[in-house]
Amino acid sequence: MTLRISSLEVGYGKRQVVKGASLKVEKGELVGLLGSNGSGKSTLIKTIAGINSQTSGSITWNDGTDLTKLSRRDLAKIVAYVPQSIGLSFGLDIREAVLLGRTPYFGTKPRDEDWAHVEAAMQRMGLDELGDRSVTELSGGQGQRVLIARALAQDPEILLLDEPTSALDIRYQWQTLEVARDVTRKNNVAAIIAIHDLNQAARFTDRVIFLQDGVVIANGRPADVYSPDLIKRVYGVDVELSVHKGFVQVHPLSERDHSRLGLNATTPDIGHLRRPAEQRDRVTA
């Protein structure tokens, strides 16, 4: 069971945003989508979710189903999308907000089966005690849990999370990521998460894909892929890498750090995470 994207091109009007991206995600795998603002992460995710449509290229699931040819409703039964938390003007109660995830499955009146999925998703996200509260009363972290519960109620095989942690404080970021990884494993979905924090990506994802200017420029386990070179190329930032509890960690540097703290750029590299000579020279200069 593989989500396979080949030579995907997506654009708004004349502007191409995704320019021939190819990647695949296995079932039970959580893949981090990394890249600077405007690199095409969000557009790629929205295209898989059927929110945008592609100019060319293919998106297939399970080695055969062409996701771009499915009806909106059928696609929604396979792919679920978790947006950044959004402000709400009117409060549904939480149970009804999660029920929105069943929209592709029922007409006007939810069936018992729909409610069963809602209850299960709420329990899964630790929301069962809050069911009757209005979504407008929730904290950011709880709100994000409601959005993930909604996606789970959709009973998807592919789960897409578009920067779900951006608006959260560190505690809820951590919770959300743990939940995302948990769900990927236990519900056995193919999951893609767009994320800005490289350290969190290294900590929680199985694999990372770097997008730059709409093209995949690196793809692999964080420890294999992260390098000062790549990160400089993608974000324009000088970094050092370290390993903490078995996870690669990224530490941005600035000229000022060096002069003030008396650090020099010849800080020992860790294991295979080697900074190239040219960059060392640049920092020293």
Of the pair 18, 76, the CB lying nearest other proteins is at: 76
Residue 235 CA, chain-centre distance (Å), reads 18
Q: Is 93 in the site for other proteins (CB under 8 A)?
A: yes
Backbone angles phi, psi at 224, to 5 degrees: -85, -30
Angle between helices 277-284 and 228-235 (to 10 degrees): 60
CA distance 90 to 84: 18
Q: Is 175 in the site for other proteins (CB under 8 A)?
A: yes
CB 138 within 8 A of CB 98: no
CB 20 within 8 A of CB 30: no
Q: Is 207 in the site for other proteins (CB under 8 A)?
A: no
Q: Is 179 helix (H, G, I), strand (E, B) or coil?
A: helix
**Interface characters, 33-52, with other proteins (x: CB under 8 A):** -------------x--xxx-
Q: Which stretch binds other proteins (CB under 8 A): 1-9, 103-111, 202-210, 261-269?
A: 103-111
Place of tokens 């295979």: 272
Q: Which stretch binds other proteins (CB under 8 A): 30-38, 120-128, 224-232, 260-268?
A: 120-128
Interface residue list for other proteins (CB under 8 A): 46, 49-51, 71-77, 79-81, 83, 86, 88-93, 95-97, 100-101, 103-104, 106-109, 112-113, 115-117, 119-120, 123-126, 131-132, 134-136, 150, 154-155, 175, 178-179, 182, 186-188
